[in-house]
Structure 1
Amino acid sequence: MSAPNKSFDPVEVSALQPEEVERARDAALAAIAAAGDLEELKKVRLEHAGDRSPLALANREIGALPPHARAEAGKRVGAARKAVAEALKRRQAELEEERDQRVLIEETVDVTLPWDRAPRGARHPVTTIAERMADVFVSMGFEIAEGPEVEAEWYNFDALNIQPDHPARTMQDTFFVESEDSGLVLRTHTSPVQVRALLSRPLPVYVVVPGRTFRTDELDATHTPVFHQLEGLAVDEGLTMADLRGAIAAFVEGMFGEGLKVRLRPSYFPFTEPSGEVDMQCFVCHGASAEPGAPPCRTCSSEGWIELGGCGMVNPRVLVAAGVDPERYSGWAFGLGVERTLMFRHGVADMHDMVEGDVRFTLPFGMEI
C-alpha cells in the first residue's frame, strides 16, 4: 500500500493555477464593468458567477487536493470569487440607480402644468337645436314623448297606413335588423311614437317627439343615413288644419323671430289626410330676394321660402289602429328635420360636418344648456 501523495503541487491542476484564477477573475470583472443594463448584467452573472462559471468549476477541484494544499488554493479561489461578487453587487446598484433616474426623466409628470390645457368640448349643435325646437312646443303645453329606435314593423308601417306594397317598406329605404321577415326595423321616422302615445296616454294627447331615425341614404352634403326629426302630434275633439297652422306659426316665431309668414302646400303622406308641406318665409331676406332685381340670398337660394317639413291631419285609419274613435276625435301631426333646421339657421353647408365628430365644428356653438 502506497503512502499519501504529500508532495502533490496544486499548481499542476490547471484550473487552480494562479494565472488561471486571475484570468477568470479579470474576465469576470471586465464583463461586469461592460454590462450596459440590468438584463446584460444578469447574463454576465450566470456566465461568470453561476454554477458553470470558470471560478465555480475551479472551486470544485479543491476537494481533490491533499489536505495541506487545499488552504492556499481555497484562499486564492475564494478571493477571486469574492471580488467578482462585490463587483456584481456594485454594478447592480449602479445600473438600478441609472434605471430609476431614467424613469424619473422619461415618465415624469409635471404637476405644475396648467390644469386647463386640454380644451373643453361642447354640446353637439344637433342636440342643442333639437331641445330648443322641443322647448317651443313645450311652452305651448305639449309633452315630450319617446320611443324605441329598433321598432316593430307594425308600429313603423302598418299602424301608419303604409301598406305592404309601399316602396318605403323595401330594403331600398329601410334598415331591417335581420331579414325582411324579422318584423324589426330601425325606425325610418319618429311617427311610430304617435301610435305608441295614443295607445299609452289618455286623450287628449299633445306630444312632441325628438329622436333619431335611420334610412338607407348615402352620406353626402345634404343627406345622411342617420338623422334627427321632431315629430308633433295633437289629438283632441274639434281640431282642424287651422290649429295646425297656428302651432307651426307659433313655432316659427319662437325659433326665428316675429313677422315671418307660414304657408302650406298640398302633398301626400299615408298617415295624414289631407297632407301638406310646411314652408316659412326666409328669416334672412324675408322673401325680398324672390323679387325681380333683388340681391340674392344664400339662405333660401333667392326663393323667398324655406321648407320646414311635412304635416297634415291624422288619417282616420291611424286613429282606428290606435284605438281612437275618429268620429269623436281628430288630430294633426307634423315632422320637422332637425339637421335641416340647423343647416339653414346657422349656414351649415355640408352634412359631413355634423357627423364626423370634429370638435372644431361644435365649439363655435358653445356650451349652451
Structure 2
Amino acid sequence: MTTQLSDLETQLSTLKQEAQRAIATASDLEQLEQLRIKYLGKKGSLSQVLGGMGKLDASERPRIGALANEVKELIQAELEQTRSTLQTAQIEAQLEAETLDVTMPGIYQPQGRTHPLTSTIDRVVDIFVGLGYTVAQGPEMESDYYNFEALNTPADHPARDMADTFYLPDGNLLRTHTSSVQIRYMENNEPPVRIVAPGRVYRRDTVDATHTAVFHQVEILAVDEGLTFTDLRGTIKIFLESMFGECPIRFRPSFFPFTEPSAEVDLQWRGRWLEVMGCGMVDPNVLKAVGYDPEVYTGFAAGFGVERLAQVLHQLDDIRRLYSSDLRFLRQF
C-alpha cells in the first residue's frame, strides 16, 4: 500500500467521524444545511479529499472511490435522519406555541350592520348596473369649471344661488352635485355613454327634517343617438318601481341650467307627494362643452339624494336620524 493511499483512507475516516459528531450536535435546520455544504458541497471536505486521487496508481483508485462513496452515503443518511428529527421538533414547538385553550370563554364580537345610507346606495347602483350603466366617480373637491361652467352655469347665472356651496381659499369648492363626474367622464369617453355616479356632495342648506348640508347623491347620464324624454321617463319609472314597488309617481316641469326640458319627479309618500329627484334632457351647451355634436347626439340625466330615498324606503320621519350614530336606531337595519 502506497503512502498516498494510506493518507487518503485516514482522511476519509477522520472526515466521517468529524461529520457524524457535527451532525449529531446540529440544533436547527439552517445549521444542518451549512454542514451539508461543508462536507458534501462542490468545494466541501469530501471533494477536497477526492482531489488527491490523481496521485494514486490506477489500481488503487477504485478502493478510494468505493470508500469515498461509503462515507458520502453515511453522511447523507445522518443528514436526512437529523433533518427529519429537527423538522418534527419544529412542528411540535409551533403547535405548542399556537395551541388554543378551548375551555376558555370566547370574546364576544357583535356582528356589524350595513348603514342604511350605504345599503341604499348599493341597491340603487345594482339596479342601474342591471340596466347597463357603468359606475363612475370623481373628486369631492372640484373646480368652478366642472361644478358650474361646463354645466351651462356661468358665474353670473342666478341658478348658482340654488346650489350655493363651500368655497376654498385656492378657488376650488366642495361639489354641489355629482354632475361634475358626468363632465369628466364625457371628456374622456365617446358616446354611447351610460353611467351612474354615486357620491357625497355639499350645499349650504338649512338643516331640517328633509335637508342637510352634507348628503349623498346618485346621478345617471345616458348619451346616444336618438334618445328622447320617453326614454328618460321609462328609465325612471323602472328604477322607482324596482326600489319601492308599484307606487304613484308624477313629473312636474322644472328648471335646471344643464337640462332642457327639465322636470321634478315626485313620489307619493305617507299620504302626500314628496319630491325625490330632478331630471331632464341634456342641454346642447353641455354636450358642446365636452366636444359632442348636439346635432347627432342627445342625452338624459337624473339626480337624487340618497337620504331622501332612504327616508321613503325605511319610513323615516327625520333625515337627521341617519347621522345621529344612535345604535338604537341603526340596529333596526
Shorter-chain TM-score tier: 0.5 to 0.7
Match of 2:316 in 1: 348
What are the residue-to-residue correspondences of 1:1-369 with 2, within 5 Å?
Answer: 112-116=104-108, 118-167=109-158, 169=160, 173-178=164-169, 182-257=170-245, 259-280=246-267, 282=268, 299-300=269-270, 302-303=271-272, 305-365=273-333
TM-score by length of 2: 0.66
Q: Secondary structure at the match of 1:222?
A: coil
SS at match of 1:334: strand
Question: Displacement of 1:190 after TM fit?
Answer: 0.8
- CA deviation digits over 1:185-210, x for unaligned, max 9? 10011111111111112210000111
Letter in 2 for 1:272: T
Whole-angstrom CA distance in 2 between matches of 1:173 and 1:248: 27
Identical pairs, percent: 52
Give the secondary structure class of the aligned counterpart of 1:352: helix
Measured after TM superposition, the shift of residue 226 of structure 1 is 0.6
Q: Do the aligned partners of 1:168 and 1:174 also contact (CA within 8 Å) in 2?
A: no
The structure 1 segments of at least 4 consecutive aligned residues displaced by more than 6 Å after TM superposition are none
Structure 1's 328 and 349: CA in aligned 2 closer, same or farther, altered over 3 A?
same
On the 8 A contact 1:122/1:359 being kept in 2, the answer is: no
SS at match of 1:211: strand
Q: Is the 8 A contact 1:121 1:359 kept in 2?
A: no
Post-superposition offset of 1:131: 1.2
**CA deviation string 1:143-181 (max 9, x = no partner):** 101010001110000000112123454698210122xxx
Q: Which amino acid aligns with 1:220?
A: D
Q: Distance in 2 between matches of 1:220 and 1:170?
A: 19
Q: Could you tell me which amino acid in structure 1 is paired with residue 301 of structure 2?
A: A
Gap regions ≥5 residues in structure 1: 1-110, 283-298
Total equivalences in the alignment: 231
Other structure's SS at 2:227 match: coil
Name the aligned partner's letter for residue 185 of structure 2: A
What secondary structure, in the 3-state scheme, does the structure 1 residue paired with 2:223 have? strand
Deviations 1:321-362 (A, max 9, x none): 111100000000000111000112111112221112223222
- How far did residue 256 of structure 1 move? 1.2
In the superposition, relative to structure 1, how do residues 172 and 333 fare at CA in structure 2: closer, same or farther (>3 Å)?
A: closer
> 1 CA distance for matches of 2:243 and 2:318?
22
Tell me, in whole angstroms, the C-alpha distance in 2 between the residues paired with 1:169 and 1:114: 57
Secondary structure of the corresponding residue to residue 206 of structure 1 = strand
Query: Structure 1: how far apart are the matches of 2:257 and 2:159?
Result: 11
Query: Whose radius of gyration is greater, 1 or 2?
Result: 1
In the TM superposition, residue 218 of structure 1 has moved relative to its aligned partner by 3.2
Q: CA 1:312/1:170 → structure 2, altered by over 3 Å: closer, same or farther?
A: closer
